[in-house]
Chain A
């Protein structure tokens, strides 16, 4: 295993976190819930998963693969102030392990109608990105939809962002309306760099995203929403490139039935021409006790390059699988996938995955 200085630093940070967490929790417990509005409480939870995969690609052996090991420390700093971080430890394609700080947010809540957050966050584009984050266990399937793949996994969307956000909800007799408004650095205009601008925005144009969702009181499992993201990229020596993402979704999700439908349009201009890349997925599942068969069909048609990995091409992925929750906090999933990639042979794969939370 390659031990890099980044990796070593991460281990030190995690060791401190893990070492501190139980002590703080114990103190809070000792002080009792009466002190709930006062001192900070640090809780540390996480997710992890391991998969096995066999594809029909020639020369590809069946293989085990380590998924993401996600830690998320949370702390209540006061009645209205809280923090959340999401730290992912995962393997690169060269088998080296690295650590990513995926999210870190400080949140101040004024009321149910308004909370403000600052830090690094998952952009509230549509539904999937902020429903499951980096948790394989939380989502029904093994993988995220192609469109919502992370930036370092050939995803075309600005999944992560650094900035501030306002979010809240208004509850009426007939509807609950939720909103998110975000302003951040957006993604980098410089090719072959980390697309998430953690330290410095390479231009003065800020990315913004607005998301709305409606949940009818009469059907609380139904959620209808959409979002609009806009940024302007300024690659060196090229005209400014407006970068927009439109998303709309209808999701029905209750204890038994799950039906998720989401469509995304990614519009990118290179200064002379504008292209729109459409994508959608539709996923359905039904629970039978601990068993849950599921299926998803998705299609992504990228008509311009969004990064070195998210290149033009069309993919249609169909999958069907079975999830078995053998514990309240752990699940086994088995899945068949058929992936049609334009200009290449279709790939069939069988994947098994075990995921858990702690």
Chain B
């Protein structure tokens, strides 16, 4: 079922909301990079769903699932016009159908009584967004995020992020090349200023931001979805003890760089801890950027002491 936040505790929901706001704040530049053929999944603002797996989206768009996890009907599906890149992406990536088969599929579903009606088609993104904004339980597919509706994460990722799956094969928002540096920056509100500074300082091809509080109270499925989402980045940078605590049960498969955080983590790959002040444990090894590669070479959980920005940059380069 949907990995939405509806099943989380009230505290978790508040935390997730706060985290989402922060994430979206820093993610804005990424949203602007949405390429032709990328599809943004939008729902009515009253809909509590925040995230859908690709399989869940497939079930909804194919009519096999007609209720949201909160028990409200999926009252309207609004598809882009035939021939648009967004529709092509939905048909190929989500439904694995061509246009003819899609039409036949829905003729059959309605004829069999399996669905009360086929999806609506709208001729502009504005019309789709307007329909979704006006209809509780509606879901729409558009090229860009729109006002008065809510964009839903797919497999834990938003449009513009590396792991976002709803892109055409030729979309320019494709994941960075393996040799490029890409970072997932995770933080809490307490270190927002540091996050903004790092975002400006680090020289990487791609950086996505994520509010760590969104993981508070997250179930195993959500944690796994997040770990899968970041599986393609060079490293996950976790700012502060609170963020590490929120992500402590996520089994990252990529290296993580923990800044000023000594807490436990379930990460499966290399763990590099960087401290820049008096809080550094005695075991932290003071290094210059040029010495980082040698310092992180052997151990799985390594503690370094130095300037955060340059040290992270050196670690990323070494990891690449």
- Chain A residues with CB under 8 Å of chain B are 32-34, 36-37, 41, 43, 45, 72, 74, 76, 79-80, 82, 84, 86, 103, 105, 107, 109, 111-112, 117, 130-131, 133, 135, 138, 169, 171, 176, 217, 254-255, 325, 328-329, 357
Are A117 and B113 in contact, with the CB atoms below 8 A? yes
Are B73 and A80 in contact, with the CB atoms below 8 A? yes
Q: Which residues of A contact B100 (CB under 8 A)?
A: 325, 328
Of B64-72, B166-174, B176-184, B199-207, the segment with at least 4 beta carbons within 8 Å of chain A is B64-72
Are A82 and B116 in contact, with the CB atoms below 8 A? yes
Q: Which residues of A contact B268 (CB under 8 A)?
A: none
Q: State the CA gap A123–B134 with chains docked (Å).
A: 38
Given contacts A37-B137, A138-B104, contact A109 B111 (CB under 8 A): no
Are A32 and B131 in contact, with the CB atoms below 8 A? yes
The one of B78, B103, B110, B112 that contacts A130, using a Cβ cutoff of 8 Å? B112
Contact residues on B (Cβ < 8 Å of other chain), bracket: 35 or more
Task: Closest B residue to A77 by CB, please name it.
Answer: B116
Closest Cβ–Cβ distance, residue B95 to chain A (whole Å): 10
Q: Which residues of A contact B120 (CB under 8 A)?
A: 33
Are B64 and A33 in contact, with the CB atoms below 8 A? no
Query: Among residues 110 to 125 in chain B, which have CB atoms less than 8 Å away from a CB atom of chain A?
Result: 110-113, 116-117, 120
Q: Which residues of B contact A133 (CB under 8 A)?
A: 111-112
Given contacts A41-B117, A43-B117, A176-B64, contact A34 B111 (CB under 8 A): no
Q: Which residues of B contact A131 (CB under 8 A)?
A: 108, 112
Task: Closest A residue to B95 by CB, please name it.
Answer: A255
Q: Is B55 an interface residue (CB 8 A)?
A: yes
Task: Closest A residue to B132 by CB, please name it.
Answer: A33
Closest Cβ–Cβ distance, residue A116 to chain B (whole Å): 12
Task: Closest A residue to B78 by CB, please name it.
Answer: A33
Q: Is B101 an interface residue (CB 8 A)?
A: yes
Are B73 and A79 in contact, with the CB atoms below 8 A? yes
Q: Is B96 an interface residue (CB 8 A)?
A: yes
Task: Closest A residue to B65 by CB, please name it.
Answer: A112
Task: Closest A residue to B1 by CB, please name it.
Answer: A171
Q: Is B136 an interface residue (CB 8 A)?
A: yes
Are B76 and A74 in contact, with the CB atoms below 8 A? no
Q: State the CA gap A32–B128 with chains docked (Å).
A: 11
Task: Closest A residue to B97 by CB, please name it.
Answer: A255
Are A105 and B113 in contact, with the CB atoms below 8 A? yes
Task: Closest A residue to B116 by CB, please name it.
Answer: A82
Q: State the CA gap A325–B107 with chains docked (Å).
A: 15
Q: Which residues of B contact A34 (CB under 8 A)?
A: 131, 134-135
Q: Which residues of A contact B135 (CB under 8 A)?
A: 33-34, 36-37
Q: State the CA gap A36–B134 with chains docked (Å).
A: 9
Q: State the CA gap A107–B72 with chains docked (Å).
A: 17
Task: Closest A residue to B221 by CB, please name it.
Answer: A173
Ranked nearest first, the 3 interchain pairs of A and B with the lowest CB-CB distance are A34-B134, A82-B116, A33-B131
Are B66 and A36 in contact, with the CB atoms below 8 A? no
Task: Closest A residue to B59 by CB, please name it.
Answer: A171
Q: Which residues of B contact A254 (CB under 8 A)?
A: 96
Task: Closest B residue to A82 by CB, please name it.
Answer: B116
The one of A72, A105, A111 that contacts B67, using a Cβ cutoff of 8 Å? A111
The one of A33, A84, A176 that contacts B138, using a Cβ cutoff of 8 Å? A33
Known A138-B104, A255-B96; 18 more pairs at CB < 8 Å: A32-B134, A33-B76, A34-B131, A34-B135, A43-B110, A43-B117, A76-B116, A84-B113, A107-B113, A109-B66, A112-B66, A131-B108, A131-B112, A133-B111, A138-B107, A171-B59, A254-B96, A255-B97
18 examples of A-B residue contacts, CB within 8 angstroms: A37-B137, A45-B107, A74-B110, A84-B113, A105-B113, A107-B113, A107-B116, A109-B66, A112-B65, A138-B104, A171-B59, A171-B65, A176-B64, A254-B96, A325-B100, A328-B103, A328-B104, A329-B103
